[in-house]
Structure 1
């Protein structure tokens, strides 16, 4: 596989965006709002698993206060490149509670490449059936 192979580039991009996405599951120490603001596009917005919409300021405020990892397991990452600087990342997630996977969710994130880095522009979570 050469670097000119578009699938190689998509595989590398999928791995990179997966790493950024999973980092949002546990943003680290409280007060890391600057890192979150760099990761979230200025026009970022989200529709949560609950169906409620959230704006960028609300998400930054909430995530910057999370200290303990929520025990999210993510899998089945897929990338669709919509344009050279726009990619749709889809995956499944579930939270771990008492040794069981709960709150199964289908997730989609729209990532946009800016001048310096990829930023999350939109995110949506939809309740999902338990995998067989």
Structure 2
């Protein structure tokens, strides 16, 4: 289970950590064909919207993710829980959230199928 937690945490980090640029091709491989998201704001996003946004922003906002834990839902399906917050240019924290991502093991490897963020206290 620790290996799976490390693997999925690393894959998740490709989508939001500074200094890691995901190409459009890599995003298409990471995000399952059925991917969709409900963001921290409550806004729904499609796979294509997320790919376009991330591919067009080579310097993603600074995000710190922590308190990762994993829950197996079925064979080849796992739920990654974690918390996050953004870091402003002056170093202050903002946009704290509790997050969950459903990952599916496919012929292409682990792919993100669903993500949700919920506002949290800072």
SS of 1:24's equivalent? coil
The answer to whether residue 107 in structure 2 is matched with residue 115 in structure 1 is yes
The answer to whether residue 121 in structure 2 is matched with residue 129 in structure 1 is yes
SS of 2:34's equivalent? strand
| 1:90-116 CA-partner distances (Å, limit 9, x unpaired) | 000000111111110000000000023
Is the CA contact 2:39–2:45 (under 8 Å) kept in the aligned structure 1?
Answer: yes
The answer to whether residue 102 in structure 2 is matched with residue 102 in structure 1 is no
The answer to whether residue 80 in structure 2 is matched with residue 89 in structure 1 is yes
SS of 1:37's equivalent? helix
Is the CA contact 2:54–2:60 (under 8 Å) kept in the aligned structure 1?
Answer: no
**How many residue pairs get matched?**
119
The partner residue of 2:21 within 16, 28, 31 is: 28
Q: CA separation in 2, counterparts of 1:19 and 1:45? A: 20
Q: Which runs of 4+ in 1 moved over 6 A?
A: none
The partner residue of 2:41 within 43, 50, 56 is: 50
**TM superposition score normalised by structure 2:** 0.93
**TM superposition score normalised by structure 1:** 0.86
The answer to whether residue 52 in structure 2 is matched with residue 61 in structure 1 is yes
Gaps of 5+ in 2: none
